[in-house]
Amino acid sequence: MHLSKLQQEFTIAIAELINYATMRGYGLTFGDAFRDIRVHGKFGIKSSYSSGYSVHKLRLAADFNLFIDGDYIADGKHQAWLDLGEQWEKMHESARWGGRFNDANHFSFNWQGYK
């Protein structure tokens, strides 16, 4: 699949995840989404806190801040993160949830083995 097609599918899936979260009573704000290569280096190059192979650089990842009843949920093991993560994993064959690797607020699509 072409990267641009996968990026478009990712964008649609993120919109669907946000809608799902809203319907469940969760509030989301964006954390990191696109990581500009002018700051973070091209894909494969590490020049900041970001991994050299971060799919954020490819527009295939978004990190969220989660709120319930106005309270920020920092605990990555909170049931709401699990709910969102499991929903995300059902949405697309490329969907990867960071909760599987201790980064619960990370939602991405796999690209050539990177998540």
- Domain annotation for the chain: domains and CATH numbers: 3-109 (3.30.1380.10)
The beta strands (E) that lie in the chain are given as 26-30, 61-68, 71-72, 95-97, 106-109
Average pLDDT value for the chain: 95
Q: What is the mean pLDDT of residues 32-44?
A: 87
Q: Are the beta carbons of 81 and 105 closer than 8 angstroms?
A: yes
Q: Would the pLDDT of 70 be above 80?
A: yes
Closest CA to 92 of 112, 108, 80: 108
∠ at Cα 76 (75, 81), nearest 5°? 110
Q: Would the pLDDT of 78 be above 80?
A: yes
Q: What is the pLDDT at residue 113? A: 92
Q: What is the mean pLDDT of residues 71-91?
A: 97
Please report the DSSP string for 65-81 in residue order. Answer: EEEETTEE---TTSHHH
Closest CA to 25 of 65, 76, 66, 63: 66
